[in-house]
């Protein structure tokens, strides 16, 4: 039983490590839920629905406007949230 729990834990950790940044303006719900921590299928569907109704996200922080998604979840995932196909995260950058 202990080995099974270790195997399951290792698999879950590996899945999070292998998750790639995701473009929240183009990805489908399945891709979003697989790529962002704390975002399951229902919240991912809410992201896609919000995007369809309100338009494209202009910043990663706007994700907190989606019902069920808070600022803590956004900040936890900020490095993996893209709003364009560019390789840089969608977080606002200081220009200092």
pLDDT, tens digit, 9 for 90 and up, residues 35-74: 999 999 999 999 999 999 999 999 999 999 999 999 999 9
In this prediction, residue 96 carries a pLDDT of 45
Backbone angles phi, psi at 81, to 5 degrees: -100, 120
Host domain of residue 84: 21-90
The total number of structural domains that make up the chain: 1
Q: CATH number, domain at 31? A: 1.10.150.280
Helix (H) or strand (E) segment spanning residue 7: helix 2-18
Instruction: Decide if 6 is inside a domain.
Output: no
Q: Is the pTM of this model over 0.75?
A: no
Could you give the CA distance from residue 45 to residue 52 in angstroms, rounded to a whole number?
11
Instruction: Decide if 15 is inside a domain.
Output: no
Instruction: Decide if 95 is inside a domain.
Output: no
Helix (H) or strand (E) segment spanning residue 22: strand 22-23
């Amino acid at each position: 039983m202990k080995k099974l729990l270790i195997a399951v834990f290792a698999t879950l950790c590996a899945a999070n490590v292998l998750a790639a940044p995701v473009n929240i303006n183009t990805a489908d719900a399945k891709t979003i839920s697989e790529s962002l921590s704390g975002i399951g299928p229902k919240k991912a569907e809410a992201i896609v629905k919000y995007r369809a109704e309100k338009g494209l996200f202009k910043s990663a922080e706007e994700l907190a406007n989606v019902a069920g998604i808070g600022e803590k979840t956004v900040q936890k995932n900020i490095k993996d949230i893209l709003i364009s196909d560019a390789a840089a995260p969608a977080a606002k950058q200081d220009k200092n």
